[in-house]
């Protein structure tokens, strides 16, 4: 299978997931990164849902081969589940950065909006926005570097007009 065909297949598999299922994958990944383990009660707490809702979602995600789930055990992502979770996380980070750094949206609003946008944007639009955001940040005019004097005080550069 070519790389292009793999990308198409991955996107098709991802499109079968609801935004809630994507959120579950992302939360499990974040919990594993932060705490090394993810438990049903931690996922429920993080997403502010009841434990039976998490259990039902885990069974569904396990059937899709995205999560390793056994009752009373830790939750882990399969290789396919982790790949999707990382993609969702990348989308979230990109939208958050675009909203805060390019548009100047406050962090709290940007966090909420990034959560919505990560699920609702096409692959093509996301790729273009990611490219734009990266180029925008790289080309931003940065303030001149300050210098630290030998005594530890900071000397800001003098503007030349």
Mean pLDDT lowest among 14-18, 124-128, 156-160 = 156-160
CB half-sphere exposure, 108, CA atoms < 13 A? 0
Does pLDDT of 85 surpass 90?
Answer: yes
- Mean pLDDT of all residues in the chain? 85
pLDDT of amino acid 109: 95
Chain position carrying tokens 């705490």:
35
Q: Where are the domains of the chain?
A: 13-136
Give the Cα separation of 53 and 63 in Å (integer). Answer: 16
Task: Provide mean pLDDT across the span 142-149.
Answer: 56
3-state secondary structure at position 146: coil
Does pLDDT of 67 surpass 90?
Answer: yes
Task: Provide mean pLDDT across the span 118-137.
Answer: 93
Q: Fold for domain 13-136? A: Arc Repressor Mutant, subunit A (1.10.10)
pLDDT of amino acid 133: 94
pLDDT of amino acid 140: 79
- At 1-26, the pLDDT tens digits run 555 555 544 555 556 899 999 999 99
């Amino acid at each position: 299978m070519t790389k292009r065909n793999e990308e198409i297949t991955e996107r098709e598999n991802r499109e079968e997931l609801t935004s809630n299922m994507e959120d579950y994958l992302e939360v499990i990944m974040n919990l594993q990164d932060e705490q090394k383990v993810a438990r049903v009660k931690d996922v429920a707490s993080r997403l502010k849902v009841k434990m039976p809702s998490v259990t039902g979602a885990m069974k569904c995600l396990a059937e899709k081969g995205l999560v390793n789930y056994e009752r009373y055990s830790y939750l882990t992502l399969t290789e396919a589940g982790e790949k999707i979770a990382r993609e969702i996380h990348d989308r979230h980070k990109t939208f958050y950065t675009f909203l805060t750094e390019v548009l100047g949206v406050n962090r709290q609003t940007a966090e909420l909006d990034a959560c919505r946008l990560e699920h609702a944007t096409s692959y093509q639009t996301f790729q273009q926005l990611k490219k734009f955001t990266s180029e925008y940040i790289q080309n931003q005019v940065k303030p001149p570097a300050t210098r630290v004097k030998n005594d530890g005080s900071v000397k800001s550069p003098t503007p030349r007009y």
